Amino acid sequence: MDQEYERRLLRQINHQNLPTEARLSKCVSATCSPVSVKSGDRFIPTRAGSNWSINFHYANENCRSPNQNHKAKDASSDSSKDAVAYAALLRNELLGAGIETVPDPHTDDRRHAVLSQDSHSLFRYTVHTKRVPFDSDNEVSPYSLSPLSNKSHKLLRSPRKPARKISKIPFKVLDAPELQDDFYLNLVDWSAGNLLSVGLGACVYLWSACTSQVTRLCDLSVDGDSVTSVCWNERGSLVAVGTHKGYVQIWDAAGGRKLTSLEGHSARVGALAWNGEQLSSGSRDRVILQRDVRTPPTAERRLQGHRQEVCGLKWSPDHQHLASGGNDNKLLVWNSSSLLPVQQYSDHLAAVKAIAWSPHQHGLLASGGGTADRCLRFWNTLTGQALQSTDTGSQVCNLAWSKHANELVSTHGYSQNQILVWKYPSLTQVAKLTGHSYRVLYLAVSPDGEAIVTGAGDETLRFWNVFSKTRCTKESKSVLNLFTRIR
């Protein structure tokens, strides 16, 4: 071998194996005192120490920033899944990775799978002398017309999980004149019988999701009163109506008649929550009254713990604990026997109206704060510990959990007026829905748990397919002025 050629080859190998610091110092010294180096006309690549399996996998990822990788990981398009399947197929044929199922692009399993594979050299010049049977997973049958291995055939035949698509267009839009733009009210609720109750000014209207028929349940204008809250019982037969003067009326929806009117509050009733036959009501007078609609009105429990208006009430799925939120930035948890709160959370910096108990994890409570807070917070009410929180960037008006998956939806006010779908516990955004021009103050979930309805001060109700599992129909937008005043 020529001595000059051997010297250049050794110099290139030694430079490849030098540490980065030494290489940088050498480059700096070379710029300060240039030395003429005699070079030839041949380029000799050095592949010593190269891991072609890892380099092949990270060829595109190294060119992207962490923010771009995060966005690509959150994407759920078919093209991204096709790219992952194609990359797995190439690794099978070129590297012998033996992948039989398409990895999920939303997780990091793909990276761990690549790192756990045996290191194979991409440029291999040796020939295996050991023969394996033709029906082995690593060999192609002599009767097959496909050049792919059996592993790749299993990969291509593996079931593909359909991409999650949430339509960003509501499938129905209803006009709701006189729907108040008041953060502390709760004027929309969806019953188990698929009836939507909406408080518009002094009236309560019922809209049937099955027939699209609208009926007026009550009109409080004759008493000089207005509607401040509505809430269905669990069976969907009774609807409670809170009024501005502090009354709580119980109405039979099927018969269209008022059963009783409960007194006890000295100010408007903005929050209602049923627990079986018991009804809890929260008012601006800072008191929570709990009454059984089957007993005389005098039998009641008074829960006093908030220092300002009570604007959020929710009973836990096991009917044992009541969560209340107030304008005093407090979140309180009550049990069914004590007159004092058993837990108190003071981490929010604004009014707590958005409250939701998880139907999937016992004792998990989610809450959202107002304009000065903008945070979603999660609590373990079994231990009293704060779990995690995230800043949503805008006022949190409502929260609701999905019945089918560990996800929840939040509606927001100042300043983005959007609807967000979150995965729990990762708290990654699944979808962002926009369309309301005012704060999205009202939220209700359909009885099948697949659709939601949102209401805002722009006097519209919008229906969204958010938690749909199987239904994938074409969305259509229809503007219907159904909630018109009946004269």
Residue 84's pLDDT band (boundaries 50, 70, 90)?
confident
| Amino acid symbol at 111 | R
Cβ distance 483 to 204 under 8 Å? no
With a threshold of 0.75, does the pTM exceed it? no
Cβ distance 482 to 214 under 8 Å? yes
The two tokens of residue 23 are 């290489």
Question: pLDDT, tens digit, for every residue of 376-394?
Answer: 999 999 999 999 999 999 9
Considering all CA atoms of the chain, what is the largest pairwise distance in Å, rounded to the nearest integer? 109
d(C-alpha 129, C-alpha 214), whole Å: 80
Task: Tell which residue, 100, 185, 187, 125, has the closest CA to residue 444.
Answer: 187
The two tokens of residue 267 are 């100010």
Close Cβ partners of 372 (under 8 Å, ≥ 6 residues apart) = 349, 350
Residue in the block written with tokens 């100042």 = 414
Task: Tell which residue, 341, 309, 339, 337, has the closest CA to residue 325.
Answer: 309
Angle at alpha carbon of residue 403, lines to 391 and 327, rounded to 5°? 40
Task: Tell which residue, 270, 217, 216, has the closest CA to residue 243.
Answer: 270
Q: Average pLDDT for residues 412-416, to the nearest whole number? A: 90
Give the Cβ contact number of residue 94 at 10 Å: 13
The answer on pLDDT for 54 being more than 60 is no
Angle at alpha carbon of residue 427, lines to 424 and 431, rounded to 5°? 100
Cα radius of gyration rounded to whole Å, the chain: 32
pLDDT of residue 16: 57
Of 310 and 73, the structure prediction assigns the larger pLDDT to 310
The answer on pLDDT for 296 being more than 90 is no
The answer on pLDDT for 24 being more than 70 is no
Residue 47's pLDDT band (boundaries 50, 70, 90)?
low
pLDDT of residue 283: 96
Q: Average pLDDT for residues 415-440, to the nearest whole number? A: 93
Domains (range + CATH), the chain: 181-394 (2.130.10.10)
The answer on pLDDT for 20 being more than 80 is no
d(C-alpha 262, C-alpha 408), whole Å: 34
Q: Is 56 exposed, middle or buried (0-12, 13-18, 19+ CB in 10 A)?
A: middle
The two tokens of residue 279 are 């009804």
The two tokens of residue 19 are 């540490």
pLDDT of residue 28: 43
| For residue 415, cis peptide bond before it (omega within 30 degrees of 0) | yes
Q: Average pLDDT for residues 465-475, to the nearest whole number? A: 58
3-state secondary structure 18-81: CCHHHHHHHHHHHHHCCCCCCCCCCCCCCCCCCCHHHHHHCCCHHHCCHHHHHHHHHCCCHHHH
Residue 103 is classified by DSSP as P
At 55, give phi and psi (nearest 5°): -60, -40
The answer on pLDDT for 157 being more than 60 is yes
Q: Average pLDDT for residues 276-289, to the nearest whole number? A: 95
d(C-alpha 62, C-alpha 55), whole Å: 9
Cβ distance 188 to 442 under 8 Å? yes
In terms of DSSP H, where are the helices of 61-201?
Answer: 66-74, 78-90, 109-116, 150-157
Angle at alpha carbon of residue 433, lines to 430 and 439, rounded to 5°? 125
Q: Report in angstroms the alpha-carbon separations of 417 from 410, 441, 450, 462.
A: 11, 9, 22, 13
pLDDT of residue 208: 95
Cβ distance 94 to 56 under 8 Å? yes
The two tokens of residue 140 are 């192609």
The answer on pLDDT for 289 being more than 90 is yes
d(C-alpha 1, C-alpha 116), whole Å: 41
Close Cβ partners of 49 (under 8 Å, ≥ 6 residues apart) = 16, 17
Q: Which regions of 117-237 does DSSP assign to beta strands (E)?
A: 172-175, 188-190, 195-200, 203-208, 214-219, 227-232
In terms of DSSP H, where are the helices of 117-251?
Answer: 150-157
